[in-house]
Amino acid sequence: MSNYFKEAELLKGLSLNEKESIEQIYKDNYGIIQQLVINNNGSEDDARDVFQEALIVLYQNAKKDDFQLNCQIKTYLYSVCRRLWLKKLQYNKRFDVLVDNQEEVVPTEEDLEVHQKLDAQYGVMKLAMGKIGEPCKSLLEAFYVHHKNMQDIASFFGYTNADNAKTQKYKCLMRLKKLFFAQYKNAK
């Protein structure tokens, strides 16, 4: 299989959140990124955070129907990570020149802007989720994030039947909606 198809397959897998593809991308790229971050005053944790954020950027892009990657995954991830880490350094008032040996870098500004918007939206929902408290949070996440059915949720959370669980879920959802929209207007 040619390199092109291999990369397309990996991207497809990534867009579907498939473990094997993500693992492969991880194996192919993590070392370089870790080196980049650590060579430039970062820690192992910094390297992980930067790399995972870059993977999220790629994931969000790969899910778009019209997405076309015009370079290798490696180049793209490296470019995004480089940009992210530079931003982080600047945020920490460190105005350094990055030490790196890979010359090929593609522009990633636009993708990062989109990513930032998505991240902000994610943040709004996360904040609302954080505010509703337990068991609401776990209950709603079981239903909406992990797609458990009402029967399982009822037995797991100790409700006598699915209807009771449904009532509880309704109450929780209303609260979440209220918090979310309040947060959403604040963010606007």
Partner 1 sequence: MMDQKQLLEITEQYLKGELSADEKALFEEMRTKTPTADQFVVEHQFFITELDKYADLKRFKANLYDIHHTMKENGEIAEVKTQDRAKIIKFWDKYRRTIAVAASIAGLTALMISGITVAFAPKTPLADIEELRRKVSKLEVKTNKQDLQLKSVRQKIEPGVNVSFGGSSFLIDAKGYLVTSAHVVHNAERIFVQNNKGQDFMAEIVLTDTQHDLAILKITDEDYKPSNNIPYSFSKKKVASIAEPVFTLGFPKDEIVYGEGYLSSVTGLLGDTMSTQITIPANPGNSGGPVLNHNGEVIGILNARQTTAEGVVFAIKSKYIYNAIDSLKRLDSSKIVHLPTNSTIRNLNRVDQVNKIQNCIYMVKVVMKK
At closest approach, how far in Å is the CB of 2 from partner 1? 26
Measure the CA angle with vertex 56, ends 26 and 103; round to 5°: 65
Question: CA separation (Å) from 151 to 56, 140, 148, 166, 169?
Answer: 33, 14, 8, 9, 12
Nearer to partner 1 by Cβ, of 67 and 170: the residue is 170
Q: Which residues, 6 or more positions from 179, have their beta carbon under 8 angstroms from its beta carbon? A: 127, 128, 131, 132
Site string for partner 1, 88-127 (x = CB under 8 A): ------x-----------------------x--xx-xxx-
Stretch that binds partner 1, among 34-42, 73-81, 99-107, 152-160 (CB under 8 A): 34-42
- Exactly one of 10, 11, 36, 55 binds partner 1 (CB under 8 A); that residue is 55
64 binds partner 1 (CB under 8 A): no
78 within 8 A of 105, measured Cβ to Cβ: yes
Q: Which of 22, 71, 98, 114 binds partner 1 (CB under 8 A)?
A: 22
**Left if phi > 0, otherwise alpha if psi is -120 to 50, otherwise beta: which for 161?**
beta
The yes or no reply on residue 67 touching partner 1 (CB under 8 A) is: no
User: 58-73: buried (b, 16+ CB within 10 Å) or exposed (e) per residue?
Assistant: bbbbbeeeeeeeeebb
Contact positions vs partner 1 (CB under 8 A): 17, 19, 22-23, 26-27, 30-31, 34, 38, 41, 43-44, 48, 52, 55-56, 59, 94, 118, 121-122, 124-126, 129, 141, 144-146, 166-167, 170, 173-174, 177, 180-181
